[in-house]
Every structure is written in structure tokens, then in C-alpha cells.
Amino acid sequence: MPRAFTPKVVTANRLLEGDAVWLTADDRWTTDMSEAELIEDEAVSQDRLLFAMGQADVVVGAYLADAKAGEDGPEPTHFREAFRTRGPSNYAHGKQAEA
């Protein structure tokens, strides 16, 4: 019996800055996960991942991450993805310093 598909977002790291970014429904990369496209179909998720992997001059390491619908947009379901929304964790800088 096939497992139910878990909603996904496409995420990667911006090639030049290294920021964690998420793919939006209008093919932009955003540093705000709540703007990401929440994909609820497995075939569409594979297509969107292929699109992301084709942008090697913009992002690196694209992959599908589990997500859930939140009040303001997609939210992470795994602590790793929650950490990525806040930036580097080795010391306060970037997004963490701004929070």
C-alpha cells in the first residue's frame, strides 16, 4: 500500500550568499518560507524539484522538504527546516541577529 504524500516545499541555498531559500509558486526564490509554494501533489513536487535543479547558476543543493499549511503560509515540520528559517546557528548574525 503506497504511503500518503506529505506536502512539500522546494528549498535550496542561494549560490552566492549561501542563504536558505524556498521556491515560490511564481518561480522566485525567497528567504521567507511562508512565501514558498506548498506542493500537495507528488508529480508536481518532482517537476518543481527538476525546475529548481535546473537553476544551478542561482541555487545549490535543491531538495524537497516536508511542510504543513500554517496561518501565514507553509511551515516546517522538522526541526532541521525550522533552523534553516532562522539562519546560521553557530553565532548570532544574519536573520538571528534581526529577530
Q: Convert the pLDDT of each residue in 12-56 to its tens digit.
A: 999 998 899 999 999 999 999 999 999 999 999 999 999 999 999
CA distances to 29, 42, 87, 94 from 97, rounded to whole Å, are 22, 36, 9, 6
Q: Is the pLDDT of residue 93 over 90?
A: no
For position 86, what pLDDT does the model report? 82
Average pLDDT of span 47-72: 97
**pLDDT for 1:** 76
Q: What is the pLDDT of residues 78-89, one digit of tens each?
A: 988 998 888 766
Using alpha carbons, list the distances in angstroms from residue 85 to 5, 6, 10, 50.
23, 19, 13, 22
